[in-house]
Structure 1
């Protein structure tokens, strides 16, 4: 086996990853100290403490859903019997291998918030408050600690297990390739079954209950039937951006020989298309709520962009996020040539990841800190911890297995892929 077939993380790569993790941990400690000092009142103390946990929640959930987008992409293309993505499928597998690691971190953070004594983030965890709140009392069959815990643990466990199963099946091709037609058919069928199981789990979590519990219940009086799809679109396009960055990075290091500009073009089309899809969902949710003009619905956007009676503290972040996530991708990636240019695609991928991080920021903090925008530099610093962790996990996973899946029954179609 040629060493070129494997990615060997350089000292510089590992140093950057560890440095980012260290910066993130230091930032988290600094934020904890700054939010746990003396406060004028008990209510202010609770809000300060919640600001710390909200930052951990926003970052852990965002990056968990981003790396899990790789798992969704892998299973969706498997279910469709796609082949073009096989040229970089080991990259997809490596990114998805971060799901169990970040999943455990996110689960610990989320359950610590739910079972803690601070109810600023999740008002519905305050039993006494729920008794006197008609809306929350009505929703307590769904918004309760038991259901939240079960869904959270179910999600992390099943995402991790099915991801491990898909990766193991792919890696088995290296040592035990299917030789006969029947063996090839069986491999494809078994892959399809596992991928279908994951899609069912994905539908029960990301496509429905999970965003409601983890994120929408921060604004527990408010609801949107589009929220889960909106969250999915935001993290899926960010996940495609992360895959693109790693494909370009490995190509620049002389690896992934079978990956061409045709594959890069398709990755660019995914970023372009799902940026538009995310905007469609954003506009549909915003327009319908604005058009109906019902107080229980409009409060969500008033907290973010304000109105004539209330200042919009988060308006700058809200509109900047929209420009980054819609205007920039559609203008830059509209032409065919731009999707085949490594520099342009890399630039767009970076701003998409940052833009949707901002999207999650404005999904969380207006409810936790409605009267002022917290110092966002702390949250960016904590985000670096997860960036470094992803780099470390993905780099180590890529170094363990060949980058090319030579024995897959569909690999020929990927090698000769042409858009």
Structure 2
């Protein structure tokens, strides 16, 4: 396709209103952090654990959601899915936050494990491990050295392979490709995407949720847990991509992205909401049915204790709402409805991460309040700032990508 056939707004300019909102949210978040540091971070052991736990689940959530944007790119690349090329730069921009949020995550997690905060991770208490046969049996895996090394490798390779995918993508901005250069470009994309998917499977699909999240309740385990975490973050990642696509469309960008592309994003959100629910139900039902104390301990506090309302609110937001609203074809092509659902799903899976982490730290009362929303505002502000900056750093459409024509004429 020649350059002359394309007519679109190539370069995104960050609006002053976006900058104002991002700085305001970052300011609110920093203020909440400072107040929380003095009111909770210097209190009792439980208050300190709630303070660290709140920051922990927020940073893990946003790191994994932004990493899911790169997973989306790599999965569709391996499937030779050219339909996403017209808005691929949106997912790329979101994925630039992986090293930013990843470093914050590592700082928070390493502070917890290196200071021996056994209020959050009970396996950090050497005396408790020595007196507990279950914790002792998991000590080959649940130890500081393994935790630190694997966490660094995970975030490091996510960032490196994501950077490599974005670098290859930038080659499609330089000059038109002939048959041979196009083949070489597609091959490099495919190989790097394959490497990312393999590493993603070994981390997000396996070990990282065990280390970072499941080990908070170290006596409990579920073979479905990592898939559950993946489903939660992936559907939230697609919702975040959808929000940015709609925002850019409303600002007059992404002219070649249309209702057909939005429809497929809606199908992803709908399908993976059902997949998340399948995992939620399967994990809960099997543990409820077997009724073994070492397994039911995880759900007892969530279903019968103070977290009961949040536990079932989680299901209503993340299953009932997508099922009822996104089932119709027309709703997936409606910009207003899709915006509402994207925001709702991001909030719902943020709540999901809250109920994954906080009941293991604060068992007797629900801590959800101003501090949680303040830290959420901080991460949203950072996300808006860095994604806007990344979008403005290169053309919004890779005009020489071999699959661009396929994406422009795409119909579902």
TM-score scaled to structure 2, two decimals?
Answer: 0.97
How far the C-alpha of 1:116 sits from its partner, in A, is: 1.1
1:6 aligns with 2:11: yes
CA deviations 1:25-55 (Å, max 9, x no partner) are 11111112111455xxxxxx21111110000
3-state SS in 2 of match to 1:394 = helix
Q: In the alignment, what sits opposite 1:42? A: none
Q: Equivalent residues in 2 for 1:127-146 (5 A)?
A: 127-146=126-145
Q: Equivalent residues in 2 for 1:125-164 (5 A)?
A: 125-164=124-163
Of 379, 395, 399 in structure 1, the residue corresponding to residue 392 of structure 2 is 399
The list of structure 1 runs, each at least 4 consecutive aligned residues, that deviate by more than 6 angstroms after superposition, is: none
CA deviations 1:380-415 (Å, max 9, x no partner) are 110111111111110001011111111011111100
1:46 and 1:118 in contact (8 A); partners too: no
How far the C-alpha of 1:3 sits from its partner, in A, is: 8.7
Whole-Å separation in 1 of the counterparts to 2:61 and 2:100 = 14
How far the C-alpha of 1:4 sits from its partner, in A, is: 2.5
Q: Once superposed, what is the RMSD of the aligned Cα atoms? A: 1.2
Q: In the alignment, what sits opposite 2:189? A: 191
Q: In the alignment, what sits opposite 1:251? A: 249
2:9 and 2:254 in contact (8 A); partners too: no
Whole-Å separation in 2 of the counterparts to 1:319 and 1:46 = 29
TM-score scaled to structure 1, two decimals?
Answer: 0.95
Of 272, 275, 284 in structure 2, the residue corresponding to residue 274 of structure 1 is 272
Of 19, 25, 29 in structure 1, the residue corresponding to residue 24 of structure 2 is 19
Q: In the alignment, what sits opposite 1:309? A: none
Whole-Å separation in 1 of the counterparts to 2:186 and 2:325 = 37
Whole-Å separation in 2 of the counterparts to 1:75 and 1:375 = 35
Structure 1: give runs of 5+ residues left out of the alignment: 39-44, 307-311
1:84 and 1:414 in contact (8 A); partners too: yes
Q: Equivalent residues in 2 for 1:195-206 (5 A)?
A: 195-206=193-204
Whole-Å separation in 2 of the counterparts to 1:407 and 1:167 = 15
CA deviations 1:104-138 (Å, max 9, x no partner) are 00110011111113211001111221111110000
CA deviations 1:209-231 (Å, max 9, x no partner) are 00000000000000000000000
- The 1:235–1:134 alpha-carbon spacing in structure 2 relative to 1, beyond 3 Å, is same
CA deviations 1:135-176 (Å, max 9, x no partner) are 000000000011100111001110111111100111111114
Q: Equivalent residues in 2 for 1:31-180 (5 A)?
A: 31-37=36-42, 45-178=44-177, 180=178
Q: In the alignment, what sits opposite 2:313? A: 320
Of 262, 265, 268 in structure 2, the residue corresponding to residue 264 of structure 1 is 262
Q: In the alignment, what sits opposite 2:237? A: 239
Whole-Å separation in 1 of the counterparts to 2:160 and 2:290 = 43
CA deviations 1:248-287 (Å, max 9, x no partner) are 0000000000001000000000000000000000000000
Q: In the alignment, what sits opposite 1:384? A: 377
3-state SS in 1 of match to 2:256 = coil
Whole-Å separation in 1 of the counterparts to 2:176 and 2:31 = 47
Structure 2: give runs of 5+ residues left out of the alignment: none
3-state SS in 1 of match to 2:241 = helix
CA deviations 1:73-121 (Å, max 9, x no partner) are 0011111111000010010100001111001001100111111132110
1:209 aligns with 2:185: no
Whole-Å separation in 2 of the counterparts to 1:184 and 1:37 = 58
How far the C-alpha of 1:375 sits from its partner, in A, is: 3.9
Count of residue pairs the alignment pairs up: 407
Q: In the alignment, what sits opposite 1:341? A: 334
